[in-house]
Amino acid sequence: MNAFTELAGIELPIVQGPFGGGLSTVELLGTVSDGGGLGSYGAHILDGQGIVELVAACRARTRRPFNINLWVPQPGEPTAAADADKDRLRPYYAELGVEPPHEIAMPDHAEQLAAILESAPPIASFVMGIPDAGFLAAARERGILTFGTATTVEEAVAVQAAGMDAVVASGSDAGGHRGAFLRPVHESLVGTFSLIPQVAQAVSIPVVAAGGIADGRGIAAALLLGADAVQIGTGFLATEQSGAHPVHRAALRSERARTTVLTRLFSGRTARGIANEFVRDMVAFESDVPAYPAQNALMTPIRQRAAQRGDLELLNLWSGQSAALAGSADASEYLAQLREYLSAAADPNRS
Ligand SMILES: Cc1cc2nc3c(=O)[nH]c(=O)nc-3n(C[C@H](O)[C@H](O)[C@H](O)COP(=O)(O)O)c2cc1C
């Protein structure tokens, strides 16, 4: 037991990272929570009703603690896309036989927060910012633990100052979107090995290390650097229980995953994924594409059709830098491998 496992009411210091954009599944969350870790679900694209139903489904799947994750909206998110932004993508729309979207619709964040309070999951985690004080106070009253995500020491200190219960320190090795919220992403790219000890020194709440951790050695290193637990994303994304497209999962388990890039091209917000033809062909527009959620909406029909076709050259193949270190393709077996490593490390009679 340590400060984090005690707080979260779990056995292993292992969190399955939440996946936004439809890549989380209740099955993966339940498998990890039942196996003694903390299963998570990225719910940022769900509306209030969707979140209430999700929490009920999670409760029906596992009796253990689980975590629901939301994105905090950032100031100035565009609600419309310019014609020039659509025109840039017209060759892809034409090739795939799809149309650009007519509007950019995002779930209402206040409604999402109200749904969290109403459905009261054991844990709610946040990325891209800190939810407002009124919500955090109400969550505390209802016994919902809240975790914040930090990409810098400054952000970790802000998460603690807001009264959140734990901080996920996300190094730039991590797959998926960067969660920087106090400074621009390019000023907030701290690698996991540099970030963890500095965050552990700066805060007194439990620290969960994220980014590039996928096997027992990574867990041991993170704990040695001062983390109380780890959050593994890519390693669980590569399992059969995740919602990743089969070609995405196969790419994570191939040599292609050795080459990842940080790109804004798929969503308008910087994220790490495996390099493919789309990011290479569009590289000149990295800083031109509109911010999230506008670019994300413009790319949705392209990504959906690419998924139908299983075309990995057009898909957003989110991945961290350690995909090659992932274990079994079955989430339950993978967690058992990590558990075995931890118990061997804790037993002085075993080499
Ligand atoms: C496909 C994908 C989607 C993700 N979506 C979210 C999300 O919605 N919210 C969040 O807090 N973290 C998200 N993350 C980050 C993970 O939860 C986790 O912190 C990260 O993957 C850890 O680094 P690793 O990929 O090197 O294991 C995502 C990661 C991936 C790979």
Confidence label for 346 from pLDDT (cuts 50, 70 and 90): confident
Ligand 1 atom at shortest distance from the alpha carbon of 211: 23
Q: What separation in Å is there between the alpha carbon of 159 and the centre of ligand 1? A: 18
* Cα 340 to Cα 215: distance, rounded to the nearest angstrom: 11
pLDDT greater than 80 at residue 193? yes
Q: How many CB atoms lie within 10 A of CB 137?
A: 11
Ligand 1 atom at shortest distance from the alpha carbon of 175: 25
- Is 250 domain-assigned? yes
Ligand 1 near 320 CB (within 6 A) = yes
Q: What separation in Å is there between the alpha carbon of 234 and the centre of ligand 1? A: 7
Q: Which pair of tokens denotes residue 292?
A: 């999230």
Per cent of the chain over pLDDT 70 is 99
Q: What pLDDT score was predicted for residue 351? A: 54
Assess contact for 86 and 298: CB atoms under 8 A.
yes
Q: What pLDDT score was predicted for residue 345? A: 85
User: What are the pLDDT digits (tens) for 244-271?
Assistant: 999 999 999 999 999 999 999 999 999 9
Domain count, the chain: 1
* Cα 303 to Cα 314: distance, rounded to the nearest angstrom: 7
Per cent of the chain over pLDDT 90 is 95
Ligand 1, from 125, 151, 177: best to mutate by most atoms within 8 Å of Cβ?
177
Q: What pLDDT score was predicted for residue 216? A: 97
- Is 288 domain-assigned? yes
The 3-class secondary structure across the chain, one letter per residue, is CCHHHHHHCCCCCEEECCCCCCCCCHHHHHHHHHCCCEEEEECCCCCHHHHHHHHHHHHHHCCCCEEEEEECCCCCCCCCCCHHHHHHHHHHHHHHCCCCCCCCCCCCHHHHHHHHHHHCCCEEEEECCCCCHHHHHHHHHCCCEEEEEECCHHHHHHHHHCCCCEEEEECCCCCEECCCCCCCHHHCCCCHHHHHHHHHHHCCCCEEEECCCCCHHHHHHHHHCCCCEEEECHHHHCCCCCCCCHHHHHHHCCHHHHCEEEECCCCCCCEEEECCHHHHHCHHHCCCCCCCCHHHHHHHHHHHHHHHHCCCCCCCCECCCCHHHCCCCCHHHHHHHHHHHHHHHHCCCCC
Q: How many CB atoms lie within 10 A of CB 341?
A: 17
Closest residue by Cα to atom 30, ligand 1, is 176
Confidence label for 349 from pLDDT (cuts 50, 70 and 90): confident
Q: What separation in Å is there between the alpha carbon of 319 and the centre of ligand 1? A: 9
Q: What separation in Å is there between the alpha carbon of 346 and the centre of ligand 1? A: 28
Please compute the mean of the pLDDT values over residues 127-152 and round it to a whole number.
98
Ligand 1 near 23 CB (within 6 A) = yes
User: What are the pLDDT digits (tens) for 7-39?
Assistant: 999 999 999 999 999 999 999 999 999 999 999
CATH of the domain at 182: 3.20.20.70
**Average pLDDT of every residue of the chain:** 97
User: What are the pLDDT digits (tens) for 281-312?
Assistant: 999 999 999 999 999 999 999 999 999 999 99
Please compute the mean of the pLDDT values over residues 96-117 and round it to a whole number.
95
- Is 351 domain-assigned? no
Q: What pLDDT score was predicted for residue 1? A: 81
Q: What pLDDT score was predicted for residue 301? A: 97
Please compute the mean of the pLDDT values over residues 208-218 and round it to a whole number.
98
- Is 160 domain-assigned? yes
- Is 94 domain-assigned? yes
Q: What pLDDT score was predicted for residue 13? A: 98
Q: What pLDDT score was predicted for residue 350? A: 62
- Is 251 domain-assigned? yes
Please compute the mean of the pLDDT values over residues 188-209 and round it to a whole number.
98
Q: Which domain holds residue 67?
A: 3-346
Ligand 1 atom at shortest distance from the alpha carbon of 17: 17
Q: What pLDDT score was predicted for residue 146? A: 99
